[in-house]
């Protein structure tokens, strides 16, 4: 008989060890799945985890992609994690990400073809503002009318997606684009572009912003009273009221930060790797970032690692698809296993497993 027993305090050892254990378990379970599909499991796992970074044939392309993909995931997830810590559920980062791209690109394109040093900084501010204002809608509706921020922020995503389509076909369409949908290419407009800063690394301003956000969030949560109040409000809302935390202010703050960071991610993406506003502008980061936030235990350092790991499985997964002919569904199942094992073994940090007879009847 297996029994779970709650630990008096969470185990520090298991908090560190569970992610490693989860990756090992995923490799075993995933390997079995790949073997069942008739592929060599060792080769498949090597293709996913090792080749993107170290295979001389692919690494030149794949390695920079790691930061390009991880950057926006980390930036958005760090913002979301603050709200999630406080029990404020912003599910609409995808919409805030799109709005940040639209606002930022709009400001940049308004100056085209002028060359001023201030254009890109202005775009950064506009991108953050776009994400922030989109997050303020569910935030204010929640604080004024007690609506559910999960629903409202999610529905705002669909509005943003339609705006994106409308903008790339209308207002922001490239007048010299021969009628094709999509804006001018910002990466070919130096004053508004977000270039790769060090060749061959994938490092751009958005990745730097992500690292800064990780450090700032870490300091906020560990050292600042505001971070303490965020954690308190999430763990014990009544105790937070007792401590003097203003719930309205906290909702506005957390939604605002997560919206602004998602908007920034959108701006850096549109002015850098994507280059232009288009109907199929690199979307999906806003939703994947929710997974990254939880994978990283809502902890900034954890999110940094989770974002890199998630990016790696995406890049490696694509590689495995065309190198080994693995079906896309198998890759998704593999990613799902990773998430499953991470969350499942997390139980060990709060509970210990006891084997043997029960000492006490269940209540």
Partner 1 sequence: MTRPELLRVEGVTKAYPGVVANSDVSFSISQGEVHALLGENGAGKSTLVKMIYGLVKPDSGRMTLNGAAYTPAEPRAARASGVAMVFQHFSLFEALNVAENVALGMENPPPMKELASRIKAVSEEYGLPLDPARMVGDLSAGERQRVEIVRCLLQDPKLLIMDEPTSVLTPQEVDILFKTLRKLSSEGTAILYISHKLEEIRALCDEATILRRGKVVATCTPRDRSAREMAELMVGATLTPPARAGGAKGAVALEVAGLSVASPIPFGTTLKSISFKVAKGEVLGIAGVAGNGQDELLLALSGELLAAPEAVRIDGAPVGQAGPTQRRALGLVSAPEERLGHAAAPDMSLVENALLSGALRQALTRRGFIDWAKTETFAEGIIKDFDVRTPGTQVAARALSGGNLQKFVVGRELSQTPSVIVINQPTWGVDAAAAASIRQAILDRAAGGAAVVVISQDLDELLEIADSFAALNEGRLTPPRPVTGLTVDEIGLMMGGAHGMEVAHHGH
Judged by the rule CB under 8 A, the positions of this chain that interact with partner 1 are 8-10, 223-226, 228, 231-232, 235-236, 238-239, 241-244, 246, 359-361, 363
Q: Minimum CB separation from partner 1 for residue 358, in Å?
A: 9
* Residue 352 structure tokens: 């210990």
Beta bridge partners, 355, equal 2
Measured from the CB of residue 56, what is the shortest distance to partner 1 in angstroms? 48
The Cα–Cα gap between 358 and 3 comes to 8
Which among 77, 85, 205, 89 has a CA at the least distance from the CA of 139? 89
Of 62, 19, 12, the closest CA to residue 292 belongs to: 19
- Could you tell me the smallest distance in angstroms from the CB atom of residue 314 to partner 1? 34
Could you tell me the two tokens for 95? 């919409």
Return the number of the residue (188 or 246) whose C-beta is nearest partner 1. Answer: 246
Residue located via tokens 């949560």 = 221
Of 72, 113, 27, 93, the C-alpha closest to 267 is 72
CB of 221 to partner 1, least distance (A): 11
Structure token digits, residue 211? 């690292």
* Nearer to partner 1 among residue 309 and residue 348 (C-beta): 348
Nearer to partner 1, 188 or 235 (CB): 235
Report the nearest approach of partner 1 to the CB of residue 85 (Å). 12
User: Shortest Cβ distance from residue 12 to partner 1 (Å)?
Assistant: 10
Q: Which of 104, 80, 94 is nearest to 194 (CA)?
A: 104
Beta-carbon count within 10 A of 231 CB: 15
Residue among 176 and 360 whose Cβ is closer to partner 1: 360
Between 168 and 349, CB nearer to partner 1: 349
Question: Closest distance between partner 1 and the C-beta of residue 235, in Å?
Answer: 5
The residue among 24 and 236 lying less far from partner 1, judged by its C-beta, is 236
- What's the min distance (Å) between Cβ of 48 and partner 1? 36
What is the closest distance, in whole angstroms, from the C-beta atom of residue 20 to partner 1 in the complex?
Answer: 24
Nearer to partner 1, 197 or 225 (CB): 225
Q: What token pair was written down for 108?
A: 């940049």
- The neighbour count for residue 26, using CB atoms within 10 Å, is 21
Q: Is the separation of the CB atoms in 131 and 94 below 8 Å?
A: no
Task: Identify whether 332 is preceded by a cis peptide bond (ω within 30 of 0).
Answer: no
For residues 7 and 116, which CB has a smaller minimum distance to partner 1 in the complex? 7
C-alpha 15/C-alpha 4 separation (Å) is 17
Least distance (Å) from partner 1 to the CB of residue 224? 5
- φ and ψ at residue 203, rounded to 5 degrees: -70, 120
**Cβ atoms within 10 Å of 333's Cβ, excluding its own:** 15
Q: Which helix (H) or strand (E) holds 344?
A: helix 328-345
**Angle 300-304-308 (CA atoms, 0-180°, nearest 5)?**
160
- Nearest to partner 1 of 234, 286 (CB atom): 234
Count of CA atoms in the C-beta half-sphere (13 A) of 146: 0
If the CB atoms of residues 9 and 57 are measured against partner 1, the closer one turns out to be: 9
């Amino acid at each position: 008989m297996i029994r779970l027993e709650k630990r008096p305090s969470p185990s520090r050892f298991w908090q560190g060890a569970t992610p490693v254990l989860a990756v090992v378990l995923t490799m075993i379970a995933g390997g079995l799945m790949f073997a069942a599909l008739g592929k060599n499991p060792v080769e498949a796992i090597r293709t996913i985890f090792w080749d993107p970074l170290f295979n001389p044939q692919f690494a030149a392309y794949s390695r920079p992609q790691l930061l390009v993909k991880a950057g926006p995931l980390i930036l958005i997830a760090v913002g979301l994690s603050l709200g999630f810590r406080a029990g404020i559920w912003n599910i609409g980062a995808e919409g805030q990400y799109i709005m940040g791209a639209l606002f930022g690109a709009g400001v940049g394109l308004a100056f085209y073809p002028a060359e001023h040093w201030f254009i890109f900084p202005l775009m950064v501010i506009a991108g953050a503002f776009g994400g922030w204002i989109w997050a303020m809608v569910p935030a204010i509706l929640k604080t004024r009318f007690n609506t559910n921020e999960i629903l409202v922020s999610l529905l705002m995503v669909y509005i943003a997606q339609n705006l994106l389509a409308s903008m790339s076909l209308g207002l922001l369409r490239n007048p010299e684009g021969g009628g094709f949908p999509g804006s001018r290419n910002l990466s070919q407009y130096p004053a508004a572009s977000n270039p790769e800063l060090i060749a061959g690394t994938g490092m751009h301003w958005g990745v730097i912003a992500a690292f800064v956000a990780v450090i700032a969030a870490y300091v906020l949560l560990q050292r600042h009273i505001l971070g303490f109040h965020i954690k308190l409000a999430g763990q014990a809302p009544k105790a937070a009221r007792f401590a003097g935390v203003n719930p309205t202010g906290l909702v506005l703050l957390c939604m605002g930060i997560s919206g602004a960071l998602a908007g920034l991610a959108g701006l850096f993406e549109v002015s850098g790797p994507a280059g232009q506003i288009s109907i199929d502008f690199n979307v999906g980061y806003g939703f994947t970032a929710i997974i990254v936030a939880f994978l990283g235990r809502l902890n900034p350092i954890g999110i940094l690692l989770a974002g890199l790991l998630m990016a790696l499985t995406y890049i490696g997964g694509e590689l495995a698809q065309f190198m080994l002919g693995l079906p896309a569904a198998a890759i998704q199942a593999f990613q799902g296993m990773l998430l499953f094992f991470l969350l499942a073994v997390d139980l060990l940090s709060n509970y210990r497993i006891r084997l043997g007879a029960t000492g006490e009847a269940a209540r």
